Structure 1
């Protein structure tokens, strides 16, 4: 049996095992997906152990997505550009790092939201690792304008510069002319389900597409707000499943049963 792990700290409740194990069972693959809590001080030591033959690879989550880069043998160009790795394939002891978050987001945006960012005005809330992945992919998909908003002005400025975008000086004004609004911050995530990344006085228009990367709870306060304004509101669960499906193929070499993974993820989330 091959093992795939999710490493992070703290891990808490993750729906990834349910999602991946359902896919292994569906395709009758002798794989198992497990949680592996790894503290930052133990990361280097633990990575060496994950080179063992029984590990097909591992997913990486907070706080290791950036810290893991120098510990790997090879990194794809996209992962290097985004500056974060969330999937690592063990190729006979050689660890190769990928980023499936960015492609997972774009796939979900196009398929779940039926939105093509080409030629569109986009606003991103949050300039951390997730915001960077989103911004890079929007640029690669020829968004007309990318505006970054973050409580830490220097972070927003740095990311805006990296993707040749803008920083938000007037959020309401930017949103009023935006086609897409993405929440790439963790604000509103369980257990802080009453938090919202938008100030109370912000108004949305009904032609905007709002994509919230937060998937737990399934309907965040931000998504409820979007629906109140009759805007299209998309949960981050689609991105979670699609990045997982891309990682599944990297680990197993087989096409992922995305619908099976989505059903298992939704059931685990709502359980």
Structure 2
């Protein structure tokens, strides 16, 4: 019997999950999930699985061979894993990106919990109903596309994607096909002239003090910066000074993690426990 950091014990019958990515040493997911398993007295363990670029196919096959119950998937492997699982959920298919793998008797299913996680975050944490509202999202990468899909599913009226490379939005248009929201693509220099009810930063900009070209913001605007380190970014500071409601990215991380937890275990996720574990882990690194 092996004792993990934090007191968790791995036995012969322990169910194992983990996170595939490169790098993964910075991930908060092991702390979040192991705290949740302990809180519910589940004989499960969550481990980091560093997998170099190009090696995702072999790693996913190895999960099944080694008896894993599933895994989270992070950069740069989300698209590669979508190509090799047996079945894709609707959101994973639309985005061609998998962040959660569930392994069962009928094979491996790829899910994307970022999309429903963002919807939960908006409604439960921010009290925001996207229906009929406008949104501006900085970034057309995986996080930005997941947020856009969540908003389109919720019948947002207009979604403006601010991207350095407009070509990168072609996949997003396909992902939103058949949904009613108007999709607009904007250059960074035009963002400041695009008013919106919801503003989301889904880029790394701000982590090193960069400021984004924010649109007009007031006390009716919701601003979400998906960065959770640093805790306060220039975007958040500017938005608060303008009276907006402001949230960092920890909420999305927690809600998508909770959905992964529920897919694997079948138990409701102890969100408060997971949140406390994330905050403690961030504090340890500060």
| TM-score over 0.5 (shorter chain) | yes
**Match for 2:22 among 9, 18, 28?**
9
- Deviation at residue 95 of structure 1 after TM alignment: 1.2
CA distance in 1, matches of 2:21, 2:230: 20
Unaligned runs of 5+ in 1: none
Tell me what 1:180 maps to: 198
Aligned counterpart in structure 1 of residue 35 of structure 2, from 19, 22, 34: 22
Residue 195 of structure 1 corresponds to 210
CA distance in 2, matches of 1:56, 1:132: 27
Structure 2: distance between partners of 1:90 and 1:157: 31
Q: Which among 205, 216, 238 is matched to residue 229 of structure 2?
A: 216
1:256 equivalent to 2:269? Answer yes
Cα distance in 1, alignment partners of residues 108 and 165 from structure 2: 34
Q: Quick check: 1:160–1:166 contact (8 Å CA) kept in 2?
A: no
Root mean square deviation, CA, Å = 1.8
Aligned to 2:186: 168
| Contact 1:126/1:156 (<8 A) preserved | no
Structure 2: any 5+ residue segments left out of the alignment? 1-13, 177-181
Give the conservation status (yes or no) of the 8 Å contact 1:126–1:148: yes
Counterparts of 1:99 and 1:245 in 2: how far apart (Å)? Answer: 12
Q: Of residues 232, 236, 243 in structure 1, which corresponds to 2:245?
A: 232
- 1:130 matched residue in structure 2: 143
Corresponding position: 1:120 with 2:133: yes
Indicate the SS of the match to 1:51: helix
The normalised TM-score by structure 2 is 0.87
The CA distance in 2 between the partners of 1:209 and 1:111, in whole Å, is: 14
CA distance in 2, matches of 1:93, 1:162: 26
Aligned match for 1:78, one of 91, 107, 111? 91
> What residue in structure 2 maps to residue 35 of structure 1?
48
Shift of 1:188: 2.4
- Contact in 2 for aligned 1:184/1:213 (Cα 8 Å): yes
1 CA distance for matches of 2:267 and 2:155? Answer: 30
Deviation at 1:144, TM superposition (A): 0.8
Instruction: Flag as ranges the 4+ runs of structure 1 deviating above 4 A.
Output: none
1:80 shift after superposition: 0.3
In structure 1, how many angstroms separate the alpha carbons of the residues matched to 2:174 and 2:38?
45
